[in-house]
């Protein structure tokens, strides 16, 4: 625009050395360089402009003025540089500027740089005139040309970014009406649309597939208005192909001037700001058709009104409008126009034959979605999946083709050394301790199949007679029974007797313990909460008081099952399943292997006789659960986080609306911090989607998924243990063999390692009696292999004998000793990697590990404790505040090998690789604080007192007592008996609401898993310190130790 309005004329000069003007003999003398701005044919600028230039050149006033006008430093420097090359003269410039308006000053500053930096436009003017002469008859001179252009173009340029204009469009600017001039604004979008379609069809070698109904209407309506609303799949390329087909038909089928129907006379619009100009454009002569992408411009009320105006203009001026819509958008558009001009077209998907033509040479390629590589030919065969529809949608063909791969990628299963030995997966029926139900479920109890004498003995043992517990109701029951039958064989209440109970009791507080062999009582209890149990007859002492729950009132929360029996009864499959086990039984390994099998298969995910197109694995601890979003939105957020493409997310969302297309594995529900968010999330799972949720035993009833099918994983058999150990060491051997081969090591080392591996396998078989119940847990079996492989492979030059391998660890094998040595191994590996300290140097003095790694391990322990017990004080934040170079320290924490660190700005969360690492470090934290009476002693003691009788947390205290009995480098104080008793004192502390049965139950849990040697060690400690320990603690522990010895 400025080129057309302004020019800068430059006279050149020739300068000599020293900057003075000289003329040499034989050379033509020239004047010095002077730049003069011409403005509207006036020599130099206005008086105000001259005053401004002079001030900028000669005083600080110019700087102050530009600062006041908020000019940047760069802008100031440019203005100064150009002003210094302009020769002006103005008397009293400050007085001149005092009368000037701020707007005119700003305008001059804005234009100065552009005016100065333009080259001379004389040649440009001549060239343009030469190009257009003879083409535009009405222009007779250069000045006439520029005046005409300026009039027509000045307003148009202010509306948006102009396209590159050729001489056809310049003629329109000069001679056309306002509608045709505004039509030029659509050129950019139209050309971009054309290029995009041409590129994608050329890349895909796609032949034209016009829309038959639309093509016919265009042929038959050349003199009438047309309004077409097009929806369906692959709309844009199909509409473009239809227009091209129509234009090729014009000479044969249209009895009108061909010049109207040309490729440059239709337009495409996807910018909302252009909508209000389209009615004027349709009024012009050039544009006969406008395509509007309604899905891109939006559907608010203003846009809908503008679209109605466009339709009215099309009818008034006999023009054509094609609206690209979806079904929802079509409903929002006004339906008032029901004339023959309106046509609704649904673009169908490509047929199988058309798809094969599009992908003829690509059918053997693979399309990765998530972690699975899907062969294109298999996708095309699954017509029920929306993935098939996406492929048949021309809009996505370009994206899909760029994703295609020649080879199927291999899915790397995230298991140690990629080893998976399946343990039996069974349908489960939970077993409960009767005591837990009586203590924790506020409901009337109907129990079937129990001997009354056994029950009486149990109740007298469990409950403190000085407290109002549910056994009080049981006593009332006994007294009534004895009045009627001294043999206590009466097992059935009448309705009248039930009324007598209810009449004398508060229905909200007192529960009835009823022994019953029939179903009559259920009707009498329908207005009260009740639970119906079946007693389990079992010879094993620990199961004497176990029951199955047959039925219970809605809204009751059951306690944690202590184990699961196999459910043999077959029933209808529910779309939801729960896998519940104790920690370490391989829930996550099972899930990861299911994903591996799915990704490696050439078809979908097969389960329960069905084949699902999709299997989605989501660790719930990492899932973006948000109570403000629905289930599908949260799944979409997860996929976006995993970097799925938009069209891939669309496919999954659509397939979630269909039966048996999507299967979702939701792993580790027990690790979600907010149970309410989890409950809401699970309650929204659509009935069309099948899902498997894994959780630990204690959390299964909190999920409140009463209709879900329940499954569990059994422990390893002897054979499965041997298989895992064999595969683990074989994998280690192969890895080491590859390293040796690269280093050209001798085969002697490998042979020696093979010998050690065989020793360890034989050792396991020989000692199976001592620790088979521990290694039957898959995670403990893994830990065992990691520890012993570390001993073997890190000591290949040492003389590893059976005696070396048969260390104290093997004799005192517990979960705690395995975890202790494993964590120590990870710390040593970290110190070796980061600080280049040889392991032999660390092992030479046991105190070195504690000293070198104390800051790291203490921080991890506090992360673990905070995540387990959620204390009021944030002990992690307090810990990090005391650490210098916090960011560098946290970088080290990230690579310790026990998990991953998330967060920033002081808000951090450590995601442990396995929940048992977190529980072990929590237990270690409790002992450390008690032993050393450390900073968080009170918080640790409070956590023990508050949670010791909660069955959801007792496995942590069990770990703590196992750590407590063994001396480890991280807690050297435990070598003294008086220190080993400190934890027991806190666990056995008798507060006002503590009963002996509760303590006995806690101690039984803690001692379960002690080796014979550890039991004897604890017994010896108690004898030595009998004077220091409370009598009740001694007597209760003695009783539990005797029971453990008998076992």
Return the DSSP state at 946. Answer: H
CB neighbourhood size of 669 (10 A): 26
Report d(CA 648, CA 651) in Å as an integer.
Answer: 5
Whether the CB-CB separation of 624 and 638 falls below 8 Å is answered with: yes
DSSP per position, 102-115? HHHHHHHHHHHHHH
Per residue in 190-240, pLDDT (tens digit) is 888 888 888 767 765 666 778 888 888 888 877 788 889 998 888 888 899
Length of the chain: 1047
The answer on pLDDT for 3 being more than 50 is no
Structure tokens at 822: 């494993």
CB neighbourhood size of 546 (10 A): 22
The residue that leads in pLDDT, 766 or 842, is: 842
Strongest mean pLDDT among 184-193, 348-357, 557-566, 860-869: 860-869
Least confident of 9-13, 887-891, 942-946: 9-13
Report d(CA 330, CA 328) in Å as an integer.
Answer: 5
Reference 55, options 115, 15, 95, 13; nearest CA is 95
Helix boundaries (H) for 555-600 = 587-600
Whether the CB-CB separation of 959 and 1005 falls below 8 Å is answered with: no
Return the DSSP state at 658. Answer: S
pLDDT at residue 784 in the model: 87
pTM of the model: 0.70
Report d(CA 863, CA 910) in Å as an integer.
Answer: 7
The answer on pLDDT for 926 being more than 90 is yes
Q: How confident is the model at residue 251 (pLDDT cuts 50, 70, 90)?
A: low
Report d(CA 523, CA 771) in Å as an integer.
Answer: 50
| Torsion sign, CA atoms 126, 129, 134, 137 | negative
DSSP per position, 318-354? T-EEEEE--HHHHHHS-----STTEEEEEEPPPPHHH
756 contacts: CB under 8 Å, gap ≥ 6: 792, 800, 805
Q: How confident is the model at residue 486 (pLDDT cuts 50, 70, 90)?
A: very low
pLDDT at residue 4 in the model: 33
Q: Taking CA 633 as the corner, what is the angle to CA 627 and CA 635, rounded to the nearest 5 degrees?
A: 100
Per residue in 802-861, pLDDT (tens digit) is 444 555 555 567 888 889 889 988 888 888 888 888 888 888 887 888 888 888 999 999
Q: Where are the beta strands (DSSP E) in 94-218?
A: none
Report d(CA 165, CA 152) in Å as an integer.
Answer: 14
Whether the CB-CB separation of 671 and 557 falls below 8 Å is answered with: no
CB neighbourhood size of 944 (10 A): 20
1018 contacts: CB under 8 Å, gap ≥ 6: 965, 980, 1007, 1010, 1037, 1041
pLDDT at residue 72 in the model: 65
pLDDT at residue 142 in the model: 57
Structure tokens at 699: 């959390």
The answer on pLDDT for 184 being more than 60 is yes
Structure tokens at 757: 């591996």
pLDDT at residue 133 in the model: 57
Report d(CA 323, CA 307) in Å as an integer.
Answer: 9
Cα Rg of the chain (Å, integer): 42
Per residue in 554-579, pLDDT (tens digit) is 878 888 888 888 888 777 688 899 99
pLDDT at residue 798 in the model: 43
Reference 981, options 1024, 943, 923, 941; nearest CA is 1024
Q: Which residues are paired to 342 by β-bridges?
A: 227
Output the CA–CA distances (angstroms, integers) from residue 594 to 619, 635, 663, in the order listed.
Answer: 14, 19, 11
Q: Which residues are paired to 876 by β-bridges?
A: none
499 contacts: CB under 8 Å, gap ≥ 6: none
Report d(CA 875, CA 863) in Å as an integer.
Answer: 8
Mean pLDDT of 240-251: 85
pLDDT at residue 335 in the model: 56
The answer on pLDDT for 449 being more than 50 is yes
The residue that leads in pLDDT, 529 or 373, is: 373
| Torsion sign, CA atoms 581, 582, 586, 592 | positive
Whether the CB-CB separation of 364 and 377 falls below 8 Å is answered with: yes
Output the CA–CA distances (angstroms, integers) from residue 76 to 67, 72, 521, in the order listed.
Answer: 9, 6, 94
Burial of 945 (0-12, 13-18, 19+ CB in 10 A): middle
């Amino acid at each position: 625009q400025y080129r057309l309005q302004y020019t800068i004329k430059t006279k050149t000069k020739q300068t000599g050395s020293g900057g003075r003007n000289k003329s040499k003999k034989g050379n033509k003398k020239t004047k010095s360089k002077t730049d003069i701005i011409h403005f509207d044919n006036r020599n130099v600028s206005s008086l105000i402009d001259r005053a401004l230039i002079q001030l900028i050149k000669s005083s600080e006033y110019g700087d102050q003025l530009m600062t006041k006008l908020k000019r940047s430093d760069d802008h100031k420097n440019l203005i100064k540089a150009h002003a210094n090359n302009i020769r002006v003269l103005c008397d009293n410039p400050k007085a001149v500027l005092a009368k000037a308006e701020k707007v005119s000053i700003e305008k001059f500053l804005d234009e100065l740089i552009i005016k100065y930096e333009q080259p001379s436009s004389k040649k440009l003017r001549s060239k343009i005139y030469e190009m257009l002469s003879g083409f535009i008859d009405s222009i007779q001179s250069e000045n006439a040309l520029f005046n005409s252009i300026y009039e027509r173009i000045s307003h148009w340029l202010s509306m948006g970014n102009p396209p590159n204009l050729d001489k056809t469009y310049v003629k329109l600017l000069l001679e056309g009406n306002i509608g045709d001039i505004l039509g030029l604004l659509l050129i950019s979008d139209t050309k971009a649309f054309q290029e995009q379609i041409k590129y994608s069809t050329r890349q895909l070698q796609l032949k034209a597939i016009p829309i038959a109904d639309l093509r016919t209407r265009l042929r038959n309506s050349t003199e009438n208005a047309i309004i077409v609303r097009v929806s369906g799949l692959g709309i844009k390329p199909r509409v473009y192909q239809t227009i091209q087909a129509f234009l090729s038909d014009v000479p044969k089928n249209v009895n009108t001037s061909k010049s109207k129907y040309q490729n440059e006379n239709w337009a495409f619009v996807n910018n909302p700001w252009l909508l209000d100009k389209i009615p004027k454009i349709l009024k012009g002569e050039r544009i006969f058709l406008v395509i509007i992408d309604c899905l891109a411009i939006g559907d608010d009320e203003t846009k809908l009104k503008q679209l109605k105006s466009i339709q009215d203009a099309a009818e008034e001026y006999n023009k054509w409008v094609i609206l690209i819509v979806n079904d929802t958008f079509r409903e929002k558009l006004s339906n008032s126009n029901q004339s023959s001009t309106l046509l609704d077209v649904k673009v169908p998907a490509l047929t199988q034959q058309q798809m094969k033509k599009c992908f003829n040479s690509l059918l053997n390629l693979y399309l990765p979605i998530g972690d699975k590589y899907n062969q294109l030919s298999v996708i095309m065969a699954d017509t029920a999946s929306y993935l098939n529809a996406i492929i048949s949608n021309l809009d996505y063909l370009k994206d899909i083709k760029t994703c295609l791969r020649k080879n199927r990628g291999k899915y790397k299963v995230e298991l140690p050394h990629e080893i998976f030995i399946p343990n039996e997966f069974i349908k489960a029926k939970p077993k409960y301790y009767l005591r837990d139900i009586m203590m924790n479920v506020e409901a009337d109890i109907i129990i079937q199949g129990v001997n009354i004498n056994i029950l009486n003995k149990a109740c007298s043992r469990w409950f403190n007679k000085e407290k109002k517990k549910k056994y009080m109701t049981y006593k009332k029951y006994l007294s009534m029974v004895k009045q009627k039958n001294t043999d206590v064989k009466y097992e059935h209440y009448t309705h009248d007797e039930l009324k007598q109970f209810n009449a004398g009791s508060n229905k909200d507080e007192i529960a009835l313990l009823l022994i019953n062999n029939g179903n009559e009582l259920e009707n009498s209890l329908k207005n009260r909460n009740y639970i119906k149990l079946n007693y389990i007859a079992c010879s094993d002492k620990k199961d004497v008081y176990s029951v199955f729950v047959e039925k219970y009132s809605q809204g009751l929360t059951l306690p944690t099952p202590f184990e699961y029996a196999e459910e043999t009864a077959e029933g209808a499959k529910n779309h939801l399943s729960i896998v519940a086990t104790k920690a370490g039984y391989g829930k996550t390994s099972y899930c990861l292997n299911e994903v591996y099998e799915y990704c490696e298969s050439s078809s979908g995910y097969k389960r329960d006789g069905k084949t699902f197109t999709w299997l989605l694995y989501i660790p719930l601890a990492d899932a973006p659960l948000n109570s403000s979003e629905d289930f599908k939105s949260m799944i979409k957020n997860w996929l976006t986080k995993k970097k799925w493409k938009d069209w891939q997310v669309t496919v999954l969302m659509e397939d979630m609306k269909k039966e048996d297309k999507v299967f979702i594995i939701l792993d580790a529900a027990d690790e979600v911090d907010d149970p309410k968010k989890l409950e809401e999330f699970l309650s929204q799972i659509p009935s069309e989607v099948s899902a498997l949720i894994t959780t630990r035993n204690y959390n299964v009833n909190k999920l409140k998924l009463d209709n879900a099918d329940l499954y569990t994983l059994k422990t390893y058999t002897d054979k499965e243990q041997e298989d895992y150990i064999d595969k683990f060491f074989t994998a280690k051997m192969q890895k080491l063999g590859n390293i040796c081969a690269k280093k050209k090591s001798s085969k002697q080392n490998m042979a020696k390692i093979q010998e050690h591996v065989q020793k360890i396998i034989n050792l396991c078989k020989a000692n199976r009696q001592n620790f088979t119940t521990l290694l039957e847990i898959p995670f403990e079996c893994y830990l065992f292999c990691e520890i012993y492989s570390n001993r073997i492979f890190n000591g290949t030059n040492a003389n590893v004998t059976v005696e070396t391998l048969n260390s104290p660890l093997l004799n005192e094998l517990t979960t705690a000793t395995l975890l202790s040595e494993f964590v120590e191994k990870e710390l040593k590996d970290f110190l070796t990697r980061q600080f280049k300290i040889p392991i032999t140097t660390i092992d030479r003095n046991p105190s070195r590990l504690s000293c070198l790694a104390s800051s790291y391990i203490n921080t991890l322990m506090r992360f673990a404790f905070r995540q387990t017990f959620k204390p009021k004080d944030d002990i992690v934040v307090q810990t990090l505040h005391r650490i210098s170079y916090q960011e560098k320290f946290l970088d080290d924490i990230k690579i310790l090998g026990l998990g991953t660190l998330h967060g920033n700005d002081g808000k951090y969360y450590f995601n442990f690789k396995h929940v048992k690492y977190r529980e072990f470090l929590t237990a270690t934290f409790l002992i450390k604080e008690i032993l050393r009476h450390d900073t968080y002693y009170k918080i640790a003691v409070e956590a023990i007192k508050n949670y010791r009788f909660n069955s959801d947390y007792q496995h942590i205290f069990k770990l703590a007592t196992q750590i407590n009995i063994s001396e480890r480098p991280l807690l050297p104080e435990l070598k003294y008996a008086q220190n080993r008793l400190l934890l027991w004192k806190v666990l056995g502390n008798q507060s006002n609401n503590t009963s002996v049965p509760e303590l006995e139950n806690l101690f039984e849990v803690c001692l379960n898993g002690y080796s014979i040697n550890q039991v004897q060690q604890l017994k010896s400690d108690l004898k030595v310190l009998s004077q220091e320990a409370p009598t009740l603690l001694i007597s209760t522990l003695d009783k539990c130790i005797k029971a453990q010895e008998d076992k």
